Amino acid sequence: MKKVERINIIMRYINNRAHFTISEIMQEFKISRSTAIRDIREIETMGMPLVAEVGRDGGYFIMHNSVLPAVRFTDNEVKALFIAFMATRNQQLPYLKSRQSLAEKILGLISENQQDDLVLLNQILLFEGSNPINPELLDLTDLPDPMLEKLIQVLLLDSYVLLTIREEKGIKSYPIFLLHLYHEKSSWLIEGFDLKEEKIQIFAVDRLTDIEPYPVKKKLSRSKILEKLRKQEMVTNLLLELGPKAIAQFKKYHPFNAFISFTNPYQTSAIFETFINVNKPEELNEIINWILFLGEDIKFRRMPDEVVEGMKGRLFTYSS
């Protein structure tokens, strides 16, 4: 990155923060301490009012009455924005209806030459999910579930929420602390800590019927919740050794948040360990089905008696 470009980015970086340190600048921009100090001094000479704080945890903060130069996009930045728009088309993203106004504002900031480049890029680049007959940037062909935006709006206010889920047995509510909201295999999923069951649950957004903030009298902090989860993970009661065939099956399908640890550099053997709540029939049946799905290329090192009995019963049923 050229010096002028780096200094411009650093100016906007520090302008967007209430406080920053030399170490943060070094880490963010991969530069030495002497270069970071030199850049900060040059930014000060350009008129940006920085105030230094002394002491062990000292750093800098900026007086926000200063005026930065108008935003200008480089050719590569414009292309990066445009390609990001194209790559996310038909991905069921939230706020998709705002794409048109956002794109029009961006197009209004760039030159005619940059606009010509984008027209050409739009003609030659296609991504998964694009319609080759009509690969327009603003083609809204796959709007997300309407509950997704409502979910995000509630989560921006508080991570403690009450989810109302449509299940096979009817409607059920879950008080959770949200850990992650993620997109996997064309579906939006919620990973949350169930405040009643005190375990991680996964919910599909398209099964949501309602969401609202959940008032908790005595809230567990995120650090306390993560501590509880770590303690649960330490008590593993299922330990399997997987051979190459079982690893191949694992890659085809495995429960959410499950992972394996390879035991050789060729990735032909691996260890799988987890905690199974044998008091939950649905969870017990799911893990039994999944172990049978892995096939014969596994060795059992540790397994609850309930899983053993369940597998024996399942195999007896199959043989009958």
Distance CA 141, CA 152 (A): 21
For residue range 61-112, what is the model confidence (pLDDT) as tens digits? 776 555 555 666 778 888 888 888 777 766 677 877 777 677 777 777 788 8
pLDDT exceeds cutoff 70 at 42: yes
Residues 181 and 199 in one domain: yes
Q: Per the domain annotation, does 171 fall within a domain?
A: yes
Q: Give the CA distances from residue 212 to residues 37, 151, 173, 180, 209, in Å, rounded to whole numbers and listed in that order.
A: 48, 8, 11, 17, 11
Task: Report whether 130 contacts 85 (CB < 8 A).
Answer: no
pLDDT exceeds cutoff 50 at 256: yes
| Confidence label for 169 from pLDDT (cuts 50, 70 and 90) | confident
Residues 219 and 269 in one domain: no
Residues 244 and 286 in one domain: yes
115, 144, 173 - which closes a domain: 144
**270 - beta bridge partners?**
242, 262
148 contact partners, CB below 8 Å, separation of at least 6: 92, 94, 188, 205
Task: Report whether 122 contacts 138 (CB < 8 A).
Answer: no
pLDDT exceeds cutoff 70 at 27: yes
pLDDT exceeds cutoff 60 at 302: yes
Nearest to 213 by CA among 166, 181, 176, 180: 176
Q: Per the domain annotation, does 77 fall within a domain?
A: yes
Distance CA 65, CA 189 (A): 42
| Confidence label for 245 from pLDDT (cuts 50, 70 and 90) | very high
The pLDDT > 70 percentage for the chain reads: 85
Strand order in 238-242's β-sheet? 261-262, 270-274, 238-242, 298-302
End-to-end CA distance of the chain: 69
42, 62, 82 - which closes a domain: 62
Which CATH number fits the domain that encloses residue 304? 3.30.70
Tokens 């909201």 found at: 181
Q: Per the domain annotation, does 68 fall within a domain?
A: no
Which CATH number fits the domain that encloses residue 53? 1.10.10.10
Q: Per the domain annotation, does 301 fall within a domain?
A: yes
Task: Report whether 81 contacts 106 (CB < 8 A).
Answer: yes
Q: How many domains does the chain fold into? A: 4
127, 144, 161 - which closes a domain: 144
Residues 221 and 289 in one domain: no
Residues 88 and 49 in one domain: no
Q: Per the domain annotation, does 67 fall within a domain?
A: no
Q: Per the domain annotation, does 46 fall within a domain?
A: yes
**Cα atoms in the Cβ-side hemisphere of radius 13 Å centred on 115:** 10
Provide the residue range defining the domain that includes 123. 73-144
For residue range 141-152, what is the model confidence (pLDDT) as tens digits? 566 778 888 999
Residues 137 and 127 in one domain: yes
Residues 241 and 176 in one domain: no
Q: pLDDT value at position 142? A: 61
φ/ψ (deg, to 5) at 229: -65, -40
Residues 161 and 177 in one domain: yes
**199 - beta bridge partners?**
194
| Confidence label for 138 from pLDDT (cuts 50, 70 and 90) | very low
